[in-house]
A and B are shown apart, each in its own frame.
Chain A
Amino acid sequence: MEWPLLVLVIAPIVAALGSLLARRRRVVEVLQCGLAGALLASAALVAERVMAAGVVSAGGFLQADALSAWLDLLLGVVGSTGTLYAVGYMGEKMDRAHLSLRRYYQFFCLFDLYLAAMLLAVNLENIATMWIAIEGSTLSGALLIGFDRSKAALEAGWKYIILSSVGIALALFGTILVYYSSEHVLGVSSEALRWSELYRVAKELDPAAIKLAFIFALIGYGTKAGIAPMHTWLPDAHAEAPTPVSAMLSANMLSLAVYAILRFKAVTDITVGPEFSGNLIIGLALLSLAISSAFFLVQRDYKRLFAYSSIEHIGIVLLGFGIGGLGVFAGAWHLMNHALAKSTAFYGAGLVFLRHNHKLLERVPGLLTQMPFAGTAILVAGIALAGLPPFGLFSSEVLIAVGAYTAKPDVAYAFLALLAFAFATLLYQILRMTLGTAEEAGVSLGRPCRIFTGVAMGINLVILGAIGLQVPPGLAPLLAAIVKIFGAETEMP
């Protein structure tokens, strides 16, 4: 029995119930801080166990291999800082009487359930129950996006739930098609839905059915991952959701959707070879890059700016996996670094929003002097997101470019051109916000809010900096195992 894996999934559920039943604010705060600690510790322990044992399972239905453990680490770390941030952010809203105590409890109940659904999804070994957990995250996410109940928030939530529901329905059809072909090999049983069994017999599966299944899964989960042209819900949802939720959407939920696509890709690659899925993914990834970088320049809303940046980075991650080989390693690395940097950027943006109560980019210059901590977070995260050294996103982008150049030179040229454009436009916008002199005074933040959010941003930035240019030796075996899942034989850089 591997208890860290169980703790990872059950802790958020316990915290959700606790928050719902709580009668005092202090109780919720303590619960959430406990949850943050539990997530951080158990994610690290799961990763360690997976590196030692290869595959760990718990409770008869949870099982984590290297890819799951990588996502556990990502969701665990960002989920943990996100929880701390949410305590500060929502607490400040309550102190300003923007939020009733009842709604405060409801928020944390939903927020924790959202985290639980995502953590459950990456640790389920069954392709269909994974779908159920992902749908669970879609539904709890929908309530969180519309949480403010303003016109804009409701509209964004509606758009999200309709598009995601369609996407997830298509993904279910893909799942059914996989089962359709696998039950001929494995028989009518839930064995035919297990990833490990699917990998084992993938060579015997029907190629036509698997190809079709992959297309449905790519479009379906791709909608949830915000890949162009199915990305239209994403900027609205990220901009209108309460900021802790924006950060979780961008860093965690998009990564989760990418994870689901990757699982299907791994099976498809064994059955029909990596060319088929690779080409589809590369096409959509380049389109995402092109669309997002074009929209950087016209953004007037700083949360939307970061939202478009998410579309860009998810595109880069998928490009890496689409290219294969070196790209698989770089894609996984990019996923982790993006989650850390993007959540930090949103944490900063949320504080700016609390202070100024609007999201207009041109009206918040001089953040570095006005709000030193939030300004620094936005600047550092922005530099990382633009792809400058000394951050991990720089090295993974270089590696993806190198991988693309050796495999498909045309893709590399397109990638580099788009990347250069995205770099210039994003950095321009970030510098506009952080430099200069402040124009509006705004409302200063309360002390508890500054402490909680400061700790959250601090943890993220420290990890982001620490894993900057070099893969820590402790994580290398995990990445090597992921590369192996995708059948690529490359030396680790």
Chain B
Amino acid sequence: MLPISPQIGSQMVDLGSALLLLTCFAIIAQRRLSACVDMFALQSVFLAATAVMVAFLTGIHHIYIAAALTVIIKAVVIPRILKQVVERLNVKRELEMNVNIPAGLLICGGLVMLAFFITQPIIPLGFLLTRDSLAIALAIILIGFFTMIARKKAVTQVIGFLVMENGLFLGATAAAYGMPLIVELGVFFDVLVGALIIGIYTHRLQDAFDSVDTTKFTTLKE
């Protein structure tokens, strides 16, 4: 039994997903690196809020645990690690991009349409509550992917990867009301370790190349 009507619940989940998508655009539009990290933290908070909403409306308790982990790991721990990296590397200056901001935003708009187009045939399969979020989840994954390509700094590539992960989490919550708990825990563990390893790598790259601009990584050329 839902505590509120399914339509309103569904719209609330849609709102949460839309806010997630909005923060993606904010990350693309952002020039300062530390602001990008903040935006990512904000996105993780929205993600957790959406997950809590789904958990509340469906009564599936383990989603609460996943939401709590999202807040702890993705809104607090990882942003803190990234901020440290940013400070140490002194790369607060303007971001360098392969694609300028207006073009980047346009491409992201296109990616959102693409995501809706791809998922259209399988949307009717989903639960009423969350069915629209699957397309948004794919859109976020694609935008994260695009961020990794469009930005030159190693740290922004990491943010792109983490945005992809957020999209995946939303996808799992939307498509399947969350994966079984053991799976969620494993995925969180992997993301955390992955972020740590990438953090270690950026430090070592900085030491070796005196830069985290990936266009300067040209030792290996075909």
Contacts and interface: CB of A to CB of B under 8 A. Distances in A.
Interface in B197-222: 197-198, 200-201, 204-205, 208-209, 214, 217, 219-220, 222
Given A132-B190, A161-B198, A166-B164, A154 B208 contact: yes
B175 A176 contact: yes
Given A142-B197, A169-B168, A176 B161 contact: no
Interface hub of A129, A154, A161, A179 (most chain B Cβ within 10 A): A154
A468 interface: no
A37 B179 CA distance: 38
Contact of B190 (A136, A155, A184): A136
A170 to B, nearest CB: 8
Contacts of B183: 126, 128-129, 132, 190, 193
Interface stretch (A9-17, A145-153, A279-287, A448-456): A145-153
B180 A189 contact: yes
B202 to A, nearest CB: 8
Interface stretch (A205-213, A359-367, A481-489): A205-213
A156 interface: yes
B168 A151 contact: no
B81 interface: no
A295 B176 CA distance: 44
Contacts of A189: 180
Contacts of B179: 128, 176, 179, 193
Interface string B168-208: 10011001110110110011011001100110110011001
Given A169-B168, A193-B180, A180 B125 contact: yes
A214 to B, nearest CB: 13
B184 to A, nearest CB: 9
A167 to B, nearest CB: 11
A129 B198 contact: no
B154 interface: yes
Contact of B157 (A157, A162, A236): A162
B204 A154 contact: yes
Interface in A83-134: 126, 128-129, 131-132
B121 interface: yes
A166 B122 contact: no
Contact of A152 (B148, B164, B194, B219): B219
B108 interface: no
A173 interface: yes
B199 to A, nearest CB: 11
A129 B171 CA distance: 17
A149 B204 contact: yes
Given A208-B121, A208-B122, A236-B220, A179 B176 contact: yes
B165 interface: yes
Nearest to B120: A208
Contact of B122 (A135, A158, A193, A212): A212
A139 interface: yes
Given A129-B183, A169-B141, A184 B125 contact: yes
Contact of A173 (B138, B186, B198, B208): B138
How big is the B interface, by class?
35 or more
A183 interface: yes
B137 to A, nearest CB: 8
Given A139-B190, A139-B197, A172-B187, A128 B180 contact: yes
Nearest to B220: A236
B76 interface: no
A143 B161 contact: no
A216 B173 CA distance: 18
Contacts of B219: 151-152, 155
Contacts of B157: 162
A45 interface: no
Contact of A190 (B175, B182, B190, B209): B182
Contact of B220 (A135, A188, A206, A240): A240
Contacts of A184: 125
Contacts of A129: 182-183, 186
A140 to B, nearest CB: 9
A165 interface: yes
Contacts of B106: none
A151 B208 contact: yes
A177 interface: yes
Contact of A177 (B60, B175, B200): B175
Contacts of B141: 169-170, 173
A259 to B, nearest CB: 19
A139 B194 contact: yes
A171 to B, nearest CB: 10
Contact of A180 (B176, B193, B205): B176
Interface hub of B177, B200, B201 (most chain A Cβ within 10 A): B201
Contacts of B190: 132, 135-136, 139
Contacts of B187: 131-132, 172
Nearest to A237: B220
A143 B220 contact: no
A309 interface: no
A138 to B, nearest CB: 8
A181 interface: yes
Contact of A158 (B164, B165, B175, B201): B201
* Nearest 10 A/B pairs, CB to CB: A132-B186, A180-B175, A208-B121, A128-B183, A135-B190, A190-B180, A209-B122, A155-B217, A152-B219, A169-B164
Given A157-B201, A166-B164, A206-B125, 5 more contacts: A128-B180, A169-B144, A176-B171, A179-B179, A180-B134
8 contacts: A129-B182, A152-B220, A155-B205, A157-B201, A180-B175, A189-B180, A208-B122, A209-B122
Interface of B: 60, 118-119, 121-122, 125-126, 134, 138, 141, 144-145, 148, 154, 157, 161, 164-165, 168, 171-172, 175-177, 179-180, 182-183, 186-187, 189-190, 193-194, 197-198, 200-201, 204-205, 208-209, 214, 217, 219-220, 222
